Structure 1
Amino acid sequence: MNTVKHLKGSNLQPLRKKRFTFWNKHHLACAVLASLLGSYLDLYFIGKKMYQFPFRPLPEIFSFNIAFTLVGLPILVVVFLYCMSQVNQWGKAGIILFVSLLMPIFEKLAEELGWFVHSEEWKHVYSFVGYLVFLSIITFYFLWLEKQK
């Protein structure tokens, strides 16, 4: 096995191994933003009677599903941002579009399981557009934070 050693007289810096990081302070900031946005959007749409969460933790205190908004959504956002950091600009756009297209499907599944109920006026295209905007905001915020390094 051959090993390459750094020359003693060389002015070049030795290459540092890049550490694998799945979670950093920018991911945490974006997870908090996602949780806040998700909470406020849920409060708004529940107040407008557009949808409701029949089964949720602490229903006498919270009208929205805090398990999803405060735990599930931030975890999913961190996974989303990790995937976004692995692709180029077109890949980022593709991931945002793909995830936004998946959300109405997941909503229908949640409705079938009784976790989510929409009003008659609700159209699932609202979810597609909403997640498209939501994920774009999270992505732009993350990219802005990364640029500030």
Structure 2
Amino acid sequence: MIKGKGYLKFSKSKNKIYVYLFGRLTGEEKKKNLFAFGRLENALENMYQIRESDRLPAELSELGFNFDDLDEWILALETRTTRNNKKINLPVIEERCFEDVTNYDLLGMSEKEVKSLNKDETFKMYSDLLEMIFGALAHIEELEEIEEG
């Protein structure tokens, strides 16, 4: 069983950000990785799929988590704010992450402009793109609910 509440933690590996559920198990001193939701760009969709299946993965159920916890994690990812209203700071992605973008028009910049960004500018652009993606996903979900209703 889990001691207290789990929380989302973001880890950068090979210039990709991964989303993990971290927490402390009863009787243990160290916090540890309890569950992996996958890469950041897929994590929210993975959480939606769990909710839509109406069945929590066994690993989460066995730790005492429920759908209220899942909804809290979804909200945290959508708003990038913790349950304590603290802003979630994502690890910095180096500017080379945009080198494989082939359609620079989507970014509203030329290839030369994208490649000349410093780390702060790259982080801001990445954050802005994530906000647009999360907003689009939320809008799609609203449209699907309207169609179903």
Query: Could you say whether these structures have the same fold, taking a TM-score greater than 0.5 normalized by the shorter chain as the test?
Result: no
Larger Rg belongs to: 1
Higher strand share: 2
Higher helix share: 1
